[in-house]
Structure 1
Amino acid sequence: MHIQKAHLSFRDPLQPLQAVTHIIIHHTAEDGWDVYKTHEFHQNNRGWSGIGYNYFIEEDGTIYEGRGLHIGAHAKGYNTSSIGICISGNFDVYDPIPVQMISLHWLCKQFMYQFSLDSEQVLGHRELDGVTKTCPGTRFSMGKLRHILSNNEKGAV
């Protein structure tokens, strides 16, 4: 498994993350949105430099770099110290596709290892103070994700 480079153009220079203390999971809450549609929405509708997420997982499980290891625009109060991973889909309506979850497990484990994080530092957007959204969706179990990530057995993905 590997991370694809998306050909994205940002309006402003991106600033590198200094320290990573959390991984924050999101969903698009829209059907059929890919990394490019999300980037366009964040630029044109939100007025941001570009896609706010650090990494993006497509419906087919492909992982794209959004902002990469640069400060994101995905979770107020956490952007300078977290990696935001967005999964395409509306998980208030349906479950994530298994191939997306395989990619998410792999990506989280890479960053947990790289930044010495444990599974309790992997949060759903809805779990942050002041957030009223259901993101990453009512059908997305953060408890199950953390349980899988806490299992250190090889192949536990």
Structure 2
Amino acid sequence: MRIQKANLSFRDPLQPLQAVTKIIIHHTAENGWDIYKTHDFHQNNRGWSGIGYNYFLEEDGTIYEGRGLYIGAHAKGYNTESIGICMSGNFDDYDPTPVQMVSLHWLCKQLMGQFSLYSDQVLGHRELDGVTKTCPGTRFSMTELRSILFRINRQ
């Protein structure tokens, strides 16, 4: 498994992450949005420099670098210390694809190792203070994800 580069251009220079204390999981909450549609929406509708997420997982399990290891725009008040991973789909209505979950587990394991993070430092966007969204969706179990990551990390 590997992380692929997407051909994205950002309006402003990106600033490197200094310290990572959390991984924050998101969903697009839209059907069929890929990294390019999400990038376009963030740039042209939100007025951001470009896609706010550090990494993006397509429905087919492909992992793309969004902002990579640069400060994101995905969780107000947490961007300078977190990595945002977004998965394509609306997990209020349906479950992530099995290959998305395999990719998510792999990517989280890589990032947890790189930044010495534990499974309890992997949070759903909805678990952050002040967030009222269901992100990453009511059908997405953060408890189950953390349990799997805990087991993976002990291997």
Tell whether the structures are fold-level matches, with TM greater than 0.5.
Answer: yes
Check if 1:65 corresponds to 2:71.
no
Check if 1:137 corresponds to 2:127.
no
The corresponding residue for 2:77 is: 77
Query: Where do residues 11-50 of structure 1 align in structure 2 (5 Å cutoff)?
Result: 11-50=11-50
Shift of 1:137: 0.0
- Structure 2, unpaired ranges of 5+: none
Q: Equivalent residue of 2:70, what SS?
A: coil
The corresponding residue for 2:102 is: 102
Once superposed, what is the RMSD of the aligned Cα atoms?
0.6
Q: What is the TM-score when the length of structure 1 is the normalising length?
A: 0.97
Query: Taking every aligned residue pair, what percent have the same amino acid on both sides?
Result: 84
Shift of 1:111: 0.5
Cα distance between partner residues in 1 of 2:47 and 2:62: 26
Shift of 1:153: 5.2
Cα distance between partner residues in 2 of 1:127 and 1:140: 12
Cα distance between partner residues in 1 of 2:104 and 2:61: 8
- Structure 1, unpaired ranges of 5+: none
What amino acid maps onto 1:59 in structure 2?
Answer: E
The corresponding residue for 1:53 is: 53
Displaced runs of 4 or more, over 4 A: none
What amino acid maps onto 2:18 in structure 1?
Answer: Q
What amino acid maps onto 1:89 in structure 2?
Answer: G
What amino acid maps onto 1:9 in structure 2?
Answer: S
Q: What is the TM-score when the length of structure 2 is the normalising length?
A: 0.98
